[in-house]
Amino acid sequence: MSASVPASASEPASAAVPGPPPVPARASAPSSAELLDFVRRAAADTDLIASLPLDPEGRTWVRLEGPGGSEAWLIGWPPGTGTGWHDHAESVGAFTTAAGTLKEHSLAARLPTDGWKTLELTEGVDRERRLATGQGRAFGRNHVHEVLNESPAEHAVSVHAYYPPLPQIRRYSRTGDVLRLEHVERPEDWQ
């Protein structure tokens, strides 16, 4: 795993961060289980985790080289920050908390991928999990969730991986049972 381009929510940084040895090249796409294994190993690398610059105001991130051509990120979460509701389009993924505790809200429902702006969610689709240091999860395509660091005082750090590399992220707002597509981000928006 190698790292490049640390950044904060407002401005990119430029130092490279060393990581554990890369996973050998492979002929097939990594599965979500393989991505989960990768993020768990990366989260256990104390030198890698300690190398992430933390900002008291905004999230910071460093891009990592993931297995089999996947996209991977080391992310720092200041107290009280989160992603908002989003999905990763057609990518499968995984993430593990490397420090602190993150909370994930997700939907246990497959949403249509195109042609809608507003959906009314049915009862029973909401899921919530807390992921303390060392805990992670894998997810499939079009997984809608939000990730939060609810701590009032402590940073959290996590490692994420996606395959194929993110073609887009769809951002949503949510009011009660109504989910609204707000906008679509492309790689050039976050790299």
Q: What is the mean pLDDT of residues 172-186?
A: 94
Question: Which residue range forms the structural domain that includes residue 148?
Answer: 3-190
Return the pLDDT at 24: 52
pLDDT of residue 2 exceeding 70, the answer is: no
Return the pLDDT at 7: 40
CATH of the domain at 55: 2.60.120.10
95 phi and psi angles, rounded to 5 deg: -150, 155
How far is the CA of 146 from the CAs of 46, 110, 127, in angstroms? 26, 16, 11
Q: What is the mean pLDDT of residues 145-165?
A: 97
The pLDDT-based confidence of 25 (bands split at 50, 70, 90) is low
The structural domain count of the chain equals 1
pLDDT of residue 27 exceeding 70, the answer is: no
